[in-house]
Structure 1
Amino acid sequence: MAPRWKGKGAEAKALADPVSKIVAQLQSSLIQTSASGILSGCSVLIAAEAEQTDLFSRACFGRPIVTVDKDKQWFQLSLEEAFFLCYSLKCLKIKVGDSSPKSYEELWHCMITRKETFSDLYKAYSHLRMKNWVVKSGSQYGVDFVAYRHHPSLVHSEYAVLVLSEGVGNDLNGRLRVWSDFHCTTRLCGSVVKTLLVLYINRNGNSNVSPLCLEKYTVEERTVSRWSPEQCREE
């Protein structure tokens, strides 16, 4: 499925300002200001400077939230987004309350306790982000993520992403176990013009007690599409 660009000139704008370049600029800005966020529930809050506000928006990390603080723009990051900036890009420190920034291991433990499937979701999220896909929540489509080739203002998302793994009880997280699951999911994806991308996280026998496990996890990619008899029959 070809990318569906939004409006004339959108593709040219995306090519002139690639996602990798924007993310690198955000990374540099956060490192220079020793940026830190606050872990709150299942998200991380960060106050951005004026330049960073623009970069957060262009790089598609988090969402802006309205506060009484008029001097700074606050952003709410998902756990996956925050840990990616902290652990993979090493440009963000994260606190819990008023405490000092947590170590990677401490932060990993905090996030695992807040979201049982965090290790698998993070592996999938970082896998796509490192390939320069823009990754956002896919809850509105009944999937884990949606993946964009560039900023959502320029292009529609191409993939609806489901993350499967050994999971609790070795049940693939309870999804896509029977044919009807595949049928319903692919029909939904077809109706919103997206390709279903299944990322199977293989833990290879490793536990999730430390972020070091991520190096031993592997990702298997599979796209699933609905077969149309009309495309194959004789005229």
Structure 2
Amino acid sequence: MSLIGGNRSKAPRKGAGKRNDNNRIYANPLPIIFSDSSPSRVRSILGLVGLSLTQVITPHCEGYFDPHTRSVWTCERNDSMLLWRRGFFGKGDLSRSEPTWLARRLNDRKARQGKYLTSEEIREKRRAERRQFKLDRAAAIAAVAAEAEAIFEAEGRVVVPALSGPEIPSGATWRPAPVLDGPTLTTESREMLEDQEPLEDVEHLQLTLHEAFFLSWNLDCLDILHPETDEPMTLREIWVAFQHAYLTPPIPDLPTPQLQFDNPFLIHYVAYHHYRSLGWVVKGGIKFCVDYLLYKKGPVFTHAEFAIVVCPVYEDLADQETSTTNLQNAEPFNWHWLSTINRVNSQVMKTLILTYVTIPARSRISSDVLSSPACLAQYSVREVIVRRFIPARMRD
């Protein structure tokens, strides 16, 4: 008699250990931490009167502003890992995303000492094993077919060659042959490797200007240093410098161009701030021909669910006609282009979102407000989801 709905022992799912490590390492969604070490009884009593002993722990990281690359460089490893692990800010300049150059070099050195294989060597080993499995399976199938042909010639019986069975290896039963003779290190070469100088971490975390300003203005956890004086920049200096970084390079003996409402930094920061404030992890989306990618928790947990294309919209069309800023996607886009972008992101299971950022009219607001982040209140955001129509799947 079987018990339906009884207690069943659940076996641990594959990759559970790695997921638990990621949940522990990337537990904080932002660099700031809310800490409350008071007893639960005290918290409940204070909660009745609307009080709390929660403390906000704000780290203070440093980064250098680089106007040529339009980025902020964080050179201290502790600051880089803190910003990456608490919100996935920035990108390692020598890595694909997380700054792991030093860890990879240490693994390479240990691999040369014969301790273990690097990730690249593991990948090549798996590829070689897959090739050998295909060769062994093809040889086994050919042997069974030759045996069936020999039976037909000798006895006249027709035997259908089996494509599965104990004679035919499968992915579950096949095992690579053990390697008896492998490369070994001599005592002299091992001592030479062990006596190498310690590696110096030459990688830095590269923050976009939108990420850097969000960390500096909203979270107050990043001090941005001037590239020439090494002195911390004020919020006003940061705000103006980031806008000037997107303007045409200044010509000698000519005044610096005035700030405009359609500055590319302002347009994209409005979209970045909008989604970051809603709890999304925002990363660059140039790989999929979009401006941003939205992650629910972060790149190490799941793939991005949404792809964002920022579309500037002028409140006053006269401003667009007289503007000297060549904003991307400000003109009416081609439907072939939109279909291409939508198809690319549909193939990778991402929903395309057109984010329209409305630029305030110059006739309504004075340009003096651009010297302060308070001008962001004049911008608005609208969103349109674009889904690809597939007739074979959407008939019901």
TM-score by length of 2: 0.49
Secondary structure of the structure 1 residue equivalent to 2:356: strand
1:161 matched to 2:308: yes
1:56 matched to 2:212: no
Q: 1:76 aligns with which of 206, 213, 226?
A: 206
Q: 1:88 to 1:48 in 2, by over 3 A?
A: same
CA contact (8 A) 1:53 1:73 kept: no
Q: Could you tell me how far 1:173 is from its partner in structure 2?
A: 2.8
One-letter code of the match for 2:386? V
1:122 matched to 2:269: yes
Match of 1:226 in 2: 388
Q: Deviations over 1:46-88 (max 9, x none)?
A: 23353x4432222211123469994796311111111111112
Taking the aligned partners of 2:390 and 2:203, their CA distance within structure 1 comes to 48
Match of 1:4 in 2: none
One-letter code of the match for 2:31? V
CA contact (8 A) 1:112 1:118 kept: yes
Match of 1:209 in 2: 370
Question: Equivalent pairs: percent with the same residue?
Answer: 28
Q: Which runs of 5+ in 2 are unaligned?
A: 1-13, 35-55, 95-100, 103-198, 247-262, 322-326
Q: 2:65 aligns with which of 30, 35, 39?
A: 39
Structure with greater proportional strand content: 1
Pairwise CA RMSD: 3.3
CA contact (8 A) 2:215 2:222 kept: yes
One-letter code of the match for 1:24? I
One-letter code of the match for 1:125? Y
One-letter code of the match for 1:46? T
Q: Could you tell me how far 1:137 is from its partner in structure 2?
A: 0.9
CA contact (8 A) 1:135 1:147 kept: yes
Q: 1:219 to 1:118 in 2, by over 3 A?
A: same
Q: Could you tell me how far 1:176 is from its partner in structure 2?
A: 5.7
Query: 1:116-155 maps to which residues of 2 (within 5 A)?
Result: 116-155=263-302
Q: Could you tell me how far 1:231 is from its partner in structure 2?
A: 2.9
Aligned residues: 224
Q: Deviations over 1:18-52 (max 9, x none)?
A: 77644324994533xxx3211112110123353x4
CA contact (8 A) 1:48 1:72 kept: no
Structure with greater Cα Rg: 2
TM-score by length of 1: 0.79
One-letter code of the match for 1:209? L
Taking the aligned partners of 2:344 and 2:93, their CA distance within structure 1 comes to 30
Bigger Cα displacement from structure 2, 168-177 vs 213-222: 168-177
Taking the aligned partners of 1:49 and 1:18, their CA distance within structure 2 comes to 17
One-letter code of the match for 1:106? E
Q: Which runs of 5+ in 1 are unaligned?
A: 1-6
Taking the aligned partners of 1:8 and 1:176, their CA distance within structure 2 comes to 46
Taking the aligned partners of 1:16 and 1:198, their CA distance within structure 2 comes to 34
Q: Could you tell me how far 1:15 is from its partner in structure 2?
A: 7.2
Match of 1:24 in 2: 32
